[in-house]
Structure 1
């Protein structure tokens, strides 16, 4: 059997269509319901669906009055505040194309984006770094727009561009990824295939407003369902999250693995009586961390895999939990394959994870680099660049990025497999694996780890000898105060070898 998951295509996106109109489709029927609560230890700032829709459409009016028109690009340089999603949806509502960006970007980094995008406007918090641009709309002006009369939704072809996001740049230069309005329609497959989300839910996301993971999972998806989104106030410490979840009755919690890791450190038990389960994405969830969360809370974690070019499409869920050795399975309606050089490989064999090029959640193109899209296409499939293997039941094991694969002694080894084994060793809190050069043209696997103290190398060697094939075993163990990560918190494996010092004779 070949590694193909195809149980039929999803229902087509209706036309005419607008992403923001879809997100706010239930607002008129739940006007007094709380759409968003910004959580603080002493209370919350609430936004009803009536307030949210008025703010979004008022912002749309203000942007049009400022001289912008449908199709114009708006680079977003806003902080971790509610102003971010309001401006984002306000732009999309009237056909303007927003580009959400991290507030941590430097002025030179934004200069490169401005040069590439030629945006018509910068939506700007003066406290956020940004290169100069002839047209900027400040935060005070954006807030004032919320009181303007509501704009009409710009309805049109669901294939037209709705927004642009930048890749993390872990495979080279960050690319501007253009997405269509239909991208929000595709996210319906995540509701049952990952979230188990209901209209009555109170979904808390631990991320910042200006993170795309938060925009999608934490805000737009709950609003599309008519549920309530909970976001901790800016500056909230991770140690305060359990109390906020309990105080505000969160039924689903979403975060990156790093947040879960810090929450369970030194915590044997968390009392979260309303919580049904947690959602995890952004980097690989270790088995040890999963078990620690389950033991501390009595609830499950459901993991998902996606990318800037396509929202999450492989996941575990309450209806389809993943096996301990698997990430999950493709969501209902997705068409996914594991490819080798000649097409889909037999089930159980390693290959590149690929999604069908007609998936409604797949990007339109790389802006200003359309030729690069063709390098990612193999027949009917879009190549993710990540390695995996599909079992007979359709569940997929994640084996890391193709360019992360280690080659030591002629064997290709997934760093994820090595990291998963070592993450279970007592005293290790986080681990990354990489091939390092010990002498010219001679490479071995090294494990870089964090923990309260340096561990005994002999004990680590004994452990890996019992748990990994010889060619997979690290030959060096390096204790670090912290592992290198990118701006999105993901482990930067390519940066690990710089922390290795080859032995000298």
Structure 2
């Protein structure tokens, strides 16, 4: 019995599971390789009994082999960010008390000293592929399966532990909600230390028996070419990727850009997540490709919880409604449930998808739950039956003059300005308002964006967001120790009431 019952990972299945640098790997071949790796991990043991085994690998056949092999041997998978600095890796490996780390040979010199200092065995996939497949342990669904580290926006990253049952719930909910089938094909270029890449793309595709085209890193040109050739039926990305794809298309001849746009239009589904999708970007992608992006909401601790519908209205700026099997409640500052629309509250989640614990941190685990509900730390509001995310209670909600302002909403409004390429809105301490609204803006190339011009444009635009009508703008450019501007193209503009 395998710990994760992927129905199509079996011998004799010749359908393509993975494509790596042009080479197709069938499900039967993949299944055998995973069993050989699991056997090599086990050695003379019958069950690894939740030993923590980490891997430092990009999207690849080796990554899939290790992830599933660790599960089948009864250990806990700890996927690492291949872009992490050594100090970050030190924290992850130490926190999880990892015993073995699997990495490609080219990264061993980078990791050797760290592993030696922490007493971790550094290994390669090829060295663990057993010649004969050993009896594999039966794994109960409630056993721990994976540890993924949070982004650490407020504290040091915590290890989020999910069970095999949690992972199965997260996957099967999306299979139904997004109509996955074995006929699907999807590119995978997202980081594989987050649930977006691990669960939404890789695991859903493999569970459905679909095909995954593996990219070690994002490659706009190759993805565009494959899309134009009709290689994919599903595309999932973060908003930044959609911005980069649009920029890539803008640099092409109109006929070629249209051909690629037609390739995306022929897909059955395009999904955006991991960050709020600005409404202007939503509309730009629709205009270029005909695709109405499906935006959803989730996080490391819960997988996906809320989604726009596969069939039905997908609203720009909204994440939709609770997924089947997931309970969602908005709670006020007093902890009471909010039952009327239009009132913001913190998102609380219940369901089989919710994680087990923060590794070795019972205090943080206990503080994250109230009456069985997981407190996400995200603010939202329900409007006409759909949830709209306002942002993190700790960083994206600006309390100004008695109002709760969403930094994400303000960013979306300002992105409508034709001279703004990128923006980050933050709260700034203010004696009058408690917090003022600060915006760091990157102007589009060739645009002379001045505080005066921006003020005239956005006063009316922002009035609906209860920002005081009288707005004072000051401009500051980053300077080095000699007083010289270091990045003249970066124009932070402070909006203060």
TM-score, normalised by the number of residues in structure 1: 0.83
1:115 matched to which residue of 2? 94
Q: Structure 2, unaligned stretches of length 5 or more?
A: 251-256, 479-489
Q: Which runs of 5+ in 1 are unaligned?
A: 1-15, 482-497
1:235 offset after TM fit, Å? 4.7
Q: CA deviation at 1:422?
A: 1.0
Q: Is this contact kept in 2: 1:222–1:228, CA < 8 A?
A: yes
For 2:346 and 2:143, locate their aligned partners in 1 and report how far apart those are by CA, in whole Å: 29
Q: Relative contact order (alpha carbons < 8 A, sep ≥ 6): 1 or 2 greater?
A: 1
Could you tell me how far 1:80 is from its partner in structure 2? 4.4
Alpha-carbon distance between aligned partners in 1 of 2:12 and 2:474, rounded to the nearest angstrom = 56
Q: Quick check: 1:256–1:283 contact (8 Å CA) kept in 2?
A: yes
CA distance in 1, matches of 2:196, 2:140: 25
Given that 2:189 and 2:218 are in contact with CA atoms closer than 8 Å, whether structure 1 keeps it comes out as no
Q: Deviations over 1:229-284 (max 9, x none)?
A: 1223x355324321122235201111111111110125363230641221111111
- Out of 196, 200, 205, the residue aligned to residue 183 of structure 2 is 200
RMSD, matched Cα: 2.8
Cα distance in 2 between the residues matched to 1:315 and 1:235: 27
- Within 2, Cα distance between the matches of 1:246 and 1:148? 42
Q: Decide whether aligned partners of structure 1 residues 500 and 247 sit closer, same or farther in structure 2, where only a CA change above 3 A counts.
A: closer
1:379 positional shift: 1.9
Matches of 2:491 and 2:417, distance apart in 1: 21
What displacement does 1:183 show?
A: 1.9
Separation (CA, whole Å) in 1 of partners of 2:413 and 2:218: 33
2:37 is the counterpart of 1:59: yes
Shift of 1:440: 9.5
Query: Matches of residues 33-48 of structure 1 in structure 2 within 5 Å?
Result: 33-38=15-20, 44-48=22-26
How many residues align structurally?
458
User: Is 1:402 aligned with 2:381?
Assistant: no
Q: Which residue of 1 aligns with 2:119?
A: 134
Taking structure 1 as reference, are residues 323 and 213 closer, same or farther at Cα in structure 2, changes over 3 Å only?
closer
Relative distance call for 1:79 and 1:225 in structure 2 (3 A) is closer
> Aligned residue for 2:291?
299
Tell me if 1:468 matches 2:450: no
Point out the more displaced range, 423-432 or 346-355: 423-432
Match of 1:492 in 2: none
Contact 1:446 1:477 in 2 (8 A): no
Give the equivalent residue in structure 2 for 1:104. 83
Matched with 1:345 is 338
In structure 2, C-alpha distance between the alignment counterparts of 1:355 and 1:235, rounded to whole Å: 33
Map 1:60-79 → 2, pairs under 5 A: 60-65=38-43, 69-79=48-58
SS in 1 for 2:262: coil
The answer to whether the aligner puts 1:276 opposite 2:268 as a matched pair is yes
